[in-house]
Amino acid sequence: MKKFLYILFISSINFIYSQDIISGKVLFEDEGVDFPISGANVFWQGTSKGVITKSNGEFKIDKEQSTNKLIISYIGFNTDTLEVNDNKYITHYLKFSDQNELSEVTVSKRRSSAQRTYLMPQNVVMISEEELLKAACCNLSESFETNPSVDVNHNDAITGTKQIEMLGLKSPYILITEENIPMVRGASQTFGLGFTPGTWIESIQVTKGMGSVTNGYESIAGQINYEIKKPSSDMPFFFNLFNSIDGRIEANAHVRSKWSEKLQNTLFIHYNDRKRANDKNGDLFLDKPIQDQINLLSKWQFTDASNGLVSFLNIRYLDDNKKIGSVDFNEKSDLSRVWGGEIFTNRFDSSFKLGYVNPNIPYQSLGFQFAYNFHDQESYYGLNDYDISQKSFFTNLIYNSIISNTKNKIKVGLNFSSDDYHEYVFKSDLSRVDSSFGGFFEYSFDNTNNFNLIFGLRYDIHNNLGSFFTPRLHFRYSLNDNFSIKGSLGTGRKIANIFAENQVLFLSNRKNINKTFAEKLYGVDPEKATNLGFSLDHKVFLFGGQGNLIFDFYKTIFDNKVILDYETFGEFNFYNSTFGKSKSDNYQLEFLFSKNNWNLTAAYKKYDVKSYYKSGLKEKPIQPRNIIFFNYGIESNKVNDKNWKFDITYNRLGKQRLMQNPRDSFELVDPHFSVNSQITRVFSNKFEVYLGGENINNFKQDNPIIMSNNPFDPNFDASIVHGPIFGSIYYLGLRYKILN
């Protein structure tokens, strides 16, 4: 009997060890960095056989004979089902969950719609699709109004555009990328944020301070990267209809097609127009332009997980037309008698991305990016003509691996970019070509516990900037489970596109006293700056909920800054600030808190932004000295897939310095605030209706256009704007989805 039991025992051991073992690793990707997921569930479909991933994301599970369907799930991420037909090592990336695929409890308790990334050395704020749905979010420029990391301001009193700022600096100092490919830059700086519809966006990553060297040398204040919805995770059909009291009508449709198990496509269709002539303040100028836009994007995705391949192809076309100026203006008007203008923009974008992850060596990967864009703007502002076209070519090659072990990772690569500008202003041809070839190296260390850092260095050879190094450093250290510190230091450079970035110059009769703008790079030297900062993050537990108290400080010091001088009314000038180092200091105290089905964000921001003008050191004009921000959102419990969602945002802008002008007798603008709110009724997981209002308190700037009654007077100026023009705006919309 003992001998029989011994033989049975040995046979059992041999049987156990002779079974096939499936091993792999579960990760998620954030800002180009891979992070392991600890505690993910890995199990065979229809069985109770499963395991949990280790701290490094790895797992091992016995192969199941009854099924080849392996399910991987983790709270806050999409649940994926893999077909396992061999014993190859599995490297699988989970994606942040779409709000429609998670239960309401999971979303409200586990993941905030806007959250900080705690494991990364960079100070990154993740804005999810759920956060974007809190407001109208007609386009990218309106996607930050419920988040304090980015400031949204009115650009002027005529074109209706909004500008964004970060750390006290305007958008040209922010690297804005679409899926990590440079997008809103050069010729598209003024209007480009309005060319990406909000419904197309899957998520936005906002990086404070210098970005990664892999994305170039330009990100001085930070980086904003937005991801377009992927065909693999998008729903088969989505439709959105929007209408506001200012006459704006917008329609969006997404149609996904599955060509095979590996090839999928989504067609994005966007149309908006405003035919209504709005003049609520009675100055005989349109408060918002008459406009129409058609925007089409075809996005293709090919995935071959077994061979470690994934690729994307984007092809996009945009046609945007705006009519601005006097309410009496039309295309046949005599421009010497009626002030008006038109802005015609055509744009073509194409990009291709290919990624390869070695199935047998998962820490080795290779990525290739290619993009070609053509942007053409023909416009006139009264008697000022302005035409610009830009052909851009960008390619990037990135290789990822490790040194010795997965705690030490490296990233090396090469990129080339070229921008061919044809620009005509003040009857001068300012055409030029910017081309750059660069290489970069980035080393990251992560002890998988409480410390990690990223050090990057790139070297570029530029036909107009010369040859130069760009160093950048980011680190994170956790003192304990509840308190961490992040820091960053780096340099950045950019060429000032004087007129493309500042088309408000054409909205006045100011006299240009600069006589050198037709020279190379407008007669000014390129800009160079150093950015340094840190962030303190402390978790708090109150009243059964969890929150974070965060303090950020960032300082930007310009070794060379281009000053746009508006200080003498009736004139404008631009030059390099050679009299001293201009600077921008930003302090932000933020409190995030969530409990059950509601969340709260409160923030206080203080700015100290000063530049050296020829007339001396001065505070940046039209820059609030401080901002108070508050956002509150709540959802009711779902009953038969029905519930209510409510959101309200309060934004108070402190005093702002005004440049000298004949309209205002004061130097400082008094503080003012705005209130935005939206309520959504979800009737089912397929259909919902939303109603909202912006600037509900109806604050309006008095007399926004100087000399609007005589636009051909030398004092005419529509560029000095520090508040809303239109007043309250209310809107109504609906969303319809087909989920499978």
Residue at 4 is within a domain? no
pLDDT digits (tens, 9 = 90+) for 203-245: 999 999 988 999 899 999 999 999 999 998 889 999 999 999 9
Residue 196 has pLDDT above 70, yes or no: yes
Last residue of a domain, one of 95, 123, 144: 95
136 and 73, same domain (yes or no): no
Summarize the confidence of residues 620-631 as an average pLDDT.
96
CATH number of residue 562's parent domain: 2.40.170.20
Sign of CA dihedral 716, 718, 722, 726: positive
323 and 434, same domain (yes or no): yes
80 and 129, same domain (yes or no): no
Instruction: Give the CA count within 13 Å in the CB-facing half-sphere of 555.
Output: 9
Q: What is the length of the chain? A: 740
606 and 473, same domain (yes or no): yes
Q: What is the DSSP string of 224-245?
A: EEEEEPPTTTS-SEEEEEEEET
pTM: 0.85
pLDDT of residue 28: 84
pLDDT digits (tens, 9 = 90+) for 488-505: 999 999 999 999 999 999
Cβ neighbours for 597, distance < 8 A, ≥ 6 positions apart: 104, 108, 634, 635, 636, 637
Residue 351: beta bridge partners?
314, 371
DSSP character for 670? P
87 and 124, same domain (yes or no): no
301 and 363, same domain (yes or no): yes
Q: How far is residue 364's CA from residue 359's CA, in Å, rounded to a whole number?
A: 9
Q: Record the tokens describing residue 136, joined without a space.
A: 């109208």
Last residue of a domain, one of 95, 127, 149: 95
Summarize the confidence of residues 459-484 as an average pLDDT.
95
Range of the domain at 63: 18-95
Residue at 7 is within a domain? no
CATH number of residue 86's parent domain: 2.60.40.1120
Residue at 3 is within a domain? no
67 confidence band (pLDDT: 50, 70, 90): confident
130 and 78, same domain (yes or no): no
pLDDT of residue 113: 57
727 and 693, same domain (yes or no): yes
Cβ neighbours for 309, distance < 8 A, ≥ 6 positions apart: 302, 303, 354, 355, 356
DSSP character for 89? P
Number of domains in the chain: 2
145 and 78, same domain (yes or no): no
pLDDT digits (tens, 9 = 90+) for 674-684: 999 999 999 99
132 and 86, same domain (yes or no): no
Note whether 619 and 643 are within 8 A (CB). no
